[in-house]
Amino acid sequence: MSCRRIVLLGPPGAGKGTQAAAIVRDLGIPHISTGDMLRAAVKAGTEIGLKAKAVMDAGELVSDEIVIRIAEERLSQEDAKNGFLLDGFPRTLSQAEALEGILDRLGTKLDCCLALTVDTEAIVKRLLKRAEIEGRADDNEDTIRERMRVYERETAPLLDFYRERNLLIEVSGMGTVEEVGERIREALR
Ligand code: AP5
Ligand code: MG
């Protein structure tokens, strides 16, 4: 497979985390999720966690400065040398531009941006179901809808950003986990 430096893009609940698990297992690359890292920071009560908690609970974006720093530190680690899957980063145009700079400094570049496309109502249902199972603080209907609005406003423009760079691969995120996984494997081949 030629895509080993991957940005996984998609609205909240599109299945990024779910599909990332299988992709990183297949490719033997690290899964870098800024959402997971921020939730770990909140849980550990670090300075970043304290700053991020209220913003995340409201479904808004943590500052570019904080997430860019987190991403740069993680991408600079040894295990990311031969590939990585970024999940939930970049999420704004500034973050996308910062990522180009980071990879430039590391002497590498992205191979592709895999974008999961989904139907909004279906993902509200998915996230409300996850709320019952995992109890994530931002999985209530109001916050889910706010996360969707933030996605449309801040993150959806990245589709054009990566399309212009000929890196965009769009895959439907609808259907079962297995069906989506198979489409992704096909697309990454
Ligand atoms: P983040 O953790 O990235 O959350 P998100 O983008 O809102 O996405 P989710 O994790 O909710 O969904 P997912 O696409 O991973 O779907 P999943 O596989 O879990 O970010 C959280 C917050 O952190 C942000 O709001 C922000 O505050 C902050 N943050 C993070 N990164 C940031 C950044 N770069 N800049 C600024 N702030 C940042 O699936 C969802 C559910 O559906 C699961 O229960 C799953 O089991 C189920 N499911 C998955 N696939 C299917 C399927 N095919 N059929 C049925 N159910 C399915
Ligand atoms: Mg996720």
Which of 34, 114, 103 has its CA nearest to residue 67? 34
Residue nearest to atom 39 of ligand 1 (CA): 15
The pLDDT value recorded for residue 21 is 98
- Domains, the chain: 5-188 (3.40.50.300)
The average confidence (pLDDT) of the chain is: 96
The pLDDT value recorded for residue 167 is 98
Q: Which residues contact 120 (CB under 8 A, 6 or more apart)?
A: 11, 148
Banded pLDDT at 121 (limits 50, 70, 90): confident
To 5 degrees, how large is the angle CA 41–CA 47–CA 53? 55
Q: Which of 1-5, 122-126, 165-169, 175-179 has the lowest mean pLDDT?
A: 1-5
Atom of ligand 1 nearest to the CA of 95: 34
The pLDDT value recorded for residue 176 is 96
Average pLDDT over residues 66-74: 98
Banded pLDDT at 115 (limits 50, 70, 90): very high
Please identify every residue annotated as catalytic: 16, 91, 130, 136, 147
170: β partners: 115
Q: What is the pTM of this model?
A: 0.97
The pLDDT value recorded for residue 135 is 87
Whole-number percent of the chain with pLDDT over 90: 94
What is d(CA 129, CA 29) in angstroms, rounded to the nearest whole number? Answer: 29
Element (H, E) at 98: helix 93-105
The pLDDT value recorded for residue 120 is 86
Residue 1 pLDDT greater than 80, yes or no: no
Average pLDDT over residues 158-182: 98
Banded pLDDT at 189 (limits 50, 70, 90): confident
Q: Give the number of whichever ligand sits closest to the CA of residue 21.
A: 1
Give the distance (Å) from ligand 2 centre to CA of residue 35: 7
